[in-house]
Amino acid sequence: MRLVILGSGRGSNAAAILEAEKAGRLGRARVVAVFSDQPAAGILALGERFAVNSAFVDPAPFKTKLEGAGEARFIAAVSAAQPDLVVLAGFMRVLKPGFLQAFSGKIINLHPSLLPSFPGLDGIGQAFRRGVKITGCTVHSVTLEVDGGPILDQAVVRIETGDTLEMLVEKMHTAEHALLPAVIRRLSER
C-alpha cells in the first residue's frame, strides 16, 4: 500500500509513521512521499532523515483551504506518487471537492479530539478550556464535512487535575503516535 503523507507542521506524526515502517510495524504500507504546504515545515526534513521523497507544494492563492491553482498543484504532485492512501498528519487546510474526488475514498485524517467533540482548529485547546476529563484523538475518513467523515478509530487521553495544556499536548502526541500507525497497518492488511 503506497502512502502519501501531507502535513503543515513539525511532522511528529509523519515521523511516527516512518519509524513504524522502519521497525516493520506498518504492515504492507510504505511511505512514498511527504508533501507540505509550508516551505519551512519540520515535516520536510523527514525526507532526508528517512530517505523518502519530500517536497513543498505551493498551495496559493488561498490561506486556509486548498482550491484553485494550489489544489491543482497538490493533485498533480500526489497523483504522480500513485498513492493507495493519502494521510493527513497535521495538514491544516480544508480540502475541497477537486482534491477529494481525485483521491476518492483514499484520504484519512488525524484529529486531536474525540470527534464529534471539538472539531476544527485547536482541538486540544478546545477540550482543555472546556474542562472535559476525557479527550483523545481520532482517525477518520475525509469527506466534504470538515472533521465529519466516518470514524476509523480513536484513542482516549485522560485530563488529570493539575494537568497543564503543555502536559496535555504531550499526552496527545503520545496517543497519536501509537494510533495513526496502527490504523494504517490495519488498513494495509485488509
Binding residues for ligand GAR (CB under 6 A): 7, 9-13, 43, 89-90, 110-112, 123, 172, 176
Q: Spell out where 57-177 has E strands.
A: 65-66, 85-88, 94-95, 107-111, 134-141, 151-158
The active-site residue out of 111, 140, 173, 177 is 111
d(CA 116, CA 107): 18
Residue placing its CB nearer to ligand GAR in the complex, 78 or 142: 142
Least distance in angstroms from the C-beta of 109 to ligand GAR = 7
Least distance in angstroms from the C-beta of 122 to ligand GAR = 7
Q: Residue with CB nearest ligand GAR?
A: 90
Least distance in angstroms from the C-beta of 77 to ligand GAR = 19
d(CA 13, CA 3): 14
Distant-in-sequence, close-in-space partners of 160: CB < 8 Å, separation ≥ 6 = none
Q: Which residue has the cell 493527513?
A: 88
Residue placing its CB nearer to ligand GAR in the complex, 7 or 47: 7
Least distance in angstroms from the C-beta of 189 to ligand GAR = 23
Between vectors from CA 34 to CA 173 and to CA 180, what angle results, nearest 5°? 35
111 flagged as catalytic: yes
Q: Is 28 within 8 Å of 62 (Cβ atoms)?
A: no
Residue placing its CB nearer to ligand GAR in the complex, 170 or 189: 170
Q: Which residues are part of the catalytic machinery?
A: 111
